[in-house]
Amino acid sequence: MSNDTTFKALVVEETSDGEFKKSIQQRKVSDLPENDLLIEVHYSSLNFKDAMSATGNKRITKQYPHTPGIDAAGVVVSDKSGTFSVGQEVLVFGYDLGMDTDGGLGQMISIPAEWALPCPETLTLKEAMTYGTGGLTAALSVQKLEKMGAKPSDGPVAVTGATGGVGTISIAILKQLGYEVIAFSGKPEQSEHLKELGASEVRHRDTINEIGNKPVGRELWANAIDTIGGDYLANLLKQTKAGGAVTSCGLAGGAEFSMTVMPFITRAVSLLGIDSVYIPLADKEAIWKRVATDMKLPNLESYGEEITLEQMPEYLDRFMSSKVVGRYVVNVKG
């Protein structure tokens, strides 16, 4: 493949008046950064971080024009490092992809070879992106609870942001592994959908905060997966059973929260951080082996809506307006 080979990509540009516009453009391979591994992207997924990059959030992306897309699934075009063979199916999650390195919402990416891992044989590229970064984060959250000793007999697991990408896959994986799930959402019209995914009970997310300023409350769930942050995270911790744990992976409800240390020292509750971006590649490969085996969900097609590259500007705007539900798989190759 020559440097003059063209491909389609979503490009976000900063205008002279400080606005950001999104469009699908033709680019050349020579426009990509110089790296060892060149990949033809078949599928990507849509994530909140992509939407933030596409609206000019300089904490995510510093330089524009830019192509977002924090994950990608595709085939190797060339690899100067010799790590992968031409035509091999590979997955890429996190590191700098889609942040300041052009990402998976383009038909070609050029990355360091150590960012990629082989796609498990029991998953297609589309299935891998049906999980995507959201599904990877969900799987890591469940696994971390397990490492802390969580088991289904302990009692229910609370999941916040239940209609989001991490929340929906968390519910489904927990259900498959035998856990009872209490789903919390600000979209009551999605209650039946959440029960179909595996939630035994659906509550409005604001009920978590009814505890107010009390240092601890009734012990209502054994463990929890929080995707919101802020007061929701604080009040989840206050109402977790003794010895339980709460994972944290999102901040849509705020990056800060205020509470006492009482749940930690009187109930031995644990707060567990989840990172799906910079964890070692070996750890990513290990969790994907689980996603491809005991965490593999039946009827994966039903968990993600397939959309095209041309629909990206519209769907990225939907993300910022909180008008999305579940996972979105982007057919990048077309």
- Tens-place pLDDT, residues 251-310: 888 899 999 999 999 999 999 999 999 999 999 999 999 999 999 999 888 888 999 999
**b/e string for 93-131 if b means 16 or more Cβ within 10 A?**
bbbbbbbebbbbbbbbbbbbbebbbebbeebbbbbbbbb
130 secondary structure, DSSP code? H
pTM of the complete model:
0.92
pLDDT in tens, 213-265: 999 999 999 999 999 999 999 999 999 999 999 999 988 888 999 999 999 99
d(CA 164, CA 326): 5
Task: Render pLDDT for 66-96 as a digit per residue (tens, 0 to 9).
Answer: 999 999 999 999 999 999 999 999 999 999 9
Q: State the average pLDDT for the chain.
A: 94
**98 contacts 133 by C-beta, under 8 angstroms:** no
